Amino acid sequence: MDEWANFRSLAGTDGWSARGGQARNPYVLSASPCGSSTGSAIAAAASMAAVTVGTETDGSILCPASLNSVVGIKPTVGLTSRAGVVPITPRQDTVG
């Protein structure tokens, strides 16, 4: 998890996890995995999971999905539950 969607620092690295280190695109190890929901996209791309869940304010589902060659869906805000999610903005944040 890229901590707080780079909200704490713009200098943060996409796909960095304090627990597991740097996540990598499973197809091109030197490519950026993109976005704060990188782990979800990588897990699906590497066939570790058939379906994954991520959160998005501005590109955190769609960018990693695109760069890791999987399908990402950003539902309409309010369509899915945000229970347990710390939103940056309640008008944009959604779980998908």
Strands (E), 1-96: 16-17, 21-22, 55-56, 94-95
Q: Count the domains in the chain.
A: 1
Residue 19: how many CB atoms within 10 A of its CB? 5
The answer to whether 93 and 77 are in contact (CB under 8 A) is: yes
Q: What is the pTM of this model?
A: 0.80
What is the extent of the structural domain holding 8?
Answer: 1-96
pLDDT digits (tens, 9 = 90+) for 15-58: 777 788 888 899 999 888 888 888 899 999 999 999 999 888 88
